[in-house]
A and B are shown apart, each in its own frame.
Chain A
């Protein structure tokens, strides 16, 4: 096993009272096999160089969810990340998760994250929609999302959480899908109604960041898309998100292009549009307001074909999960 000397640039956050911190970057040099994990490197530093370095860890095997932190530009589990795979010129930069309050050094306050999870009533409910018997494939959907270990990687790197702290976030939404997709769950519609409210499932911008950073292959964004589809199927179409999606769909299906001029009106309604008038005037001055007349794309027939295929092969939101495809 080949060894290398790595430089760890670690963000130190020392609490100075009243929620304030003294933040600085400190460098440590450690010699390790390239296949060592970032967590063992941090343990090495704590044991032999600086006992004050603070981070959470427990299982060392990517299953307890304690050790999520920013490593070389994205949030990862320190115990699952090999130093050799993230070093740039033998430098590895480590900081705490983002979008959440810091406690000390690399440890964040996990309470706000779990508060969001609690908002979705994270437990199976009895009710009129409970299936009586399960089959072999009943949990194919459930199994994908129950891989979640609540480490917070997705929330830390969520681009929507960054701009909108009220957003429920990918982990809580995936947790909600865990119940909505469970045949034994009795209150699926009630859950979808809750999720259709502002800041919940329709607030995701589908940037796929959560899918990319998830260390357990939970694919939160796919769960969110499936929740939306199920919500629409249940006729939950009155919220801004749902109306926006439907208007979008209508334009593409009819014209192959968006009518952005009327899209807003159809999504947020007259009141919402008037409220945004200020920004609209500002945009108009800059020439950013699109033409009010619908533009028809060429070769609409081709597009119809795509629609036909999709309609014949609908996204299966009930049971079958995507096969686990061996790479």
Chain B
């Protein structure tokens, strides 16, 4: 059986950045990824990455904005690490070759993003994620890190003493199931956008790592906090970056009127995302939208600026919505975008399960709390890719290779074999996924109430029962995408259950979690993290809570959030 000191699952920004720390520490590190590294969804990030690189700005100010943005349940120790490391990691990326946009004197250009007191977002036109991702891949090639490409991890293996012992993966290309032994596993599998029918996320964003960790005994943190981005394209959900508003774009309703001054008098279009999304949804619900959308108006920026700063946005609007933003406003609406929740870790990325680490969108460190600021997620992936990569590399150096339990590979092989051999039941996985993701879209969205969310809670056991009966048309081994998606559907159901249960239980409004039936933030009872655990006996998700990691700094004390 193959074996490495550290196995990194996922080759997005966080996974690749972590691998470079393994190389630096001179350990045997390998990456397993279900899609080629360059296909990872980090490539879709458009707007930019926050860092106080300007001498007039400070990491303290960045940390403060982040604490406030998190609606006071971000963990303050981790937030400080992130804000402090930000300029360092951005300059490192610059040295590795990322072509950041520049200002006249050669310094890195920065733009305004929501919820920030300074124009702090470093960017490369409107394809920041893509250039960062390609840069890290270049470094990965240079360092010759072994990569198991198009291999999907199915199971996190834990030994008798409760220590992680490796993973079991499916080589999608050949259909072979194989085990990899390791002294530690770092999960960097990104978000779970596909739980929602309309999302800015890729089809491969199915939160596998979170679900696999949950089943292996690690808790997930704050799953009820789901970010809705104010500007997803109406039909496809594809993102239009916040950078478009950062460059001066307006939001207008069907009467062509700007409306954000009603909801956020100072910051207007650049209030934090939860605030803007709710404002849009209110406009739509009160009849001032068109076919479920309002509009992003860039016309006044002029042709030149649109072409220079937002070229990709223009292409996407033309290709996918049939609208050239130079001439017409773009129809947009709040769309599922980002998962604040994930595998619960401490400030260095250690999960409570020994030998398991997590970084990036798959993790809940938690630097984002109840609401992530734009530009802070790319930063999170690179800072905690680095921090956790280094911590995990150090950890495995003192470990012996755990015993890989007999039967772990066979268990996965049997599960897959059974699924492939199952006679036609007429229950298609694609249909079951639609049912699940439509329910989340309709019932656990921007505005929530117990009554409405209850409907989603009722759908989940139904979907779970159907999932047990699905059958596949593709029964072959090689490159069986239907099989891969069916397995992913199982993950989505576990994650949906964690989201719905967490949201129903949290009887307050905070950040992205807004309840019409409990419209106020309730710090006395709810300034705490939700933990979701898998109960193997009951075969369901159960909840517990833990306190926020605070530092006792007066400015970080909860206040009303106004923008």
Contacts and interface: CB of A to CB of B under 8 A. Distances in A.
A54 B479 contact: yes
Given A57-B203, A63-B43, A326-B303, A51 B99 contact: no
B474 A66 contact: no
Interface residues of A, number: 53
Contacts of A150: 38
Residue with the greatest number of chain A CB neighbours at <10 A, chosen from B40, B44, B103, B316 = B44
A107 B484 CA distance: 15
A114 B473 contact: no
A196 interface: no
Contacts of A143: 99, 125
A131 to B, nearest CB: 10
Contact of A107 (B312, B320, B428, B479): B479
Contact of A15 (B125, B139, B478): B478
A139 B130 contact: no
B553 interface: no
Nearest to A55: B481
B482 A146 contact: no
Contacts of A59: 39, 41, 43-44, 202
Interface in B369-419: none
A135 B102 contact: yes
Nearest to A325: B307
A51 B35 contact: no
Contact of A134 (B102, B134, B303): B102
B315 interface: yes
B559 interface: no
Contacts of A111: 149
B38 A326 contact: no
Interface residues of B, number: 60
B139 A37 contact: no
Interface in B340-358: none
A184 interface: yes
Nearest to B321: A35
A150 B37 CA distance: 11
Contact of B97 (A35, A47, A123): A123
A82 B322 CA distance: 10
Contacts of B476: 14-15, 52, 104
B533 interface: no
Contact of B103 (A47, A52, A136, A182): A136
B229 interface: no
Interface string A52-65: 10111111111111
B560 interface: no
A15 B478 CA distance: 8
Contact of A52 (B316, B319, B482): B482
A37 B238 CA distance: 13
Contacts of A121: 142
Contacts of B141: 118, 122-123
Nearest to A40: B236
B204 interface: yes
Contact of A149 (B43, B104, B308, B482): B43
B242 to A, nearest CB: 16
B241 to A, nearest CB: 11
A275 interface: no
B309 to A, nearest CB: 11
Given A58-B35, A60-B238, A61-B44, A147 B320 contact: no
Contacts of B474: 51-52, 54
A15 B322 CA distance: 39
Interface string A76-100: 0000101000000000000000000
Contacts of A138: 102, 106
A30 B123 CA distance: 41
Nearest to B475: A52
B210 interface: no
B427 to A, nearest CB: 12
Contact of A62 (B35, B239, B316, B428): B316
A282 interface: no
A114 B36 contact: yes
Given A37-B320, A146-B131, A150-B38, A46 B482 contact: yes
A63 B130 contact: yes
A171 to B, nearest CB: 11
Interface in B87-102: 96-97, 99, 101-102
Contact of B35 (A66, A124, A135): A66
A288 interface: no
A245 interface: no
Interface string B441-483: 0000000000000000000000000000000111010111110
A160 interface: no
Contacts of A60: 202-203, 236, 238
A224 interface: no
B127 interface: yes
A124 B429 CA distance: 45
A134 B106 contact: yes
A181 B482 CA distance: 43
B44 to A, nearest CB: 5
B44 A63 contact: yes
Interface string B15-55: 00000000000000000000110111101100000000000
Nearest to A137: B102
Interface string A257-287: 0000000000000000000000000000000
A110 interface: yes
A114 B37 CA distance: 11
B232 to A, nearest CB: 11
Contacts of B257: none
A103 B173 contact: yes
Interface of B: 35-36, 38-41, 43-44, 96-97, 99, 101-106, 124-125, 127, 130-131, 134, 138-139, 141-142, 149, 173, 202-204, 236, 238-239, 303-304, 307-308, 311-312, 315-316, 319-320, 322, 428-431, 434, 472-474, 476, 478-482
Interface of A: 14-15, 35, 37, 46-48, 50-52, 54-66, 80, 82, 103-104, 107, 109-111, 114, 118, 121-124, 133-136, 138-139, 142-143, 146-147, 149-150, 182, 184, 324, 326
11 contacts: A46-B430, A58-B39, A59-B41, A59-B44, A61-B44, A61-B316, A63-B43, A63-B312, A124-B97, A134-B106, A136-B106
Given A56-B39, A64-B39, A326-B304, 11 more contacts: A47-B430, A55-B481, A57-B203, A61-B44, A64-B44, A82-B319, A121-B142, A123-B141, A124-B97, A142-B99, A149-B43
Q: Which 10 A-B pairs have the closest CB atoms?
A: A51-B473, A47-B430, A124-B97, A123-B138, A52-B474, A123-B142, A58-B202, A104-B479, A139-B99, A64-B39
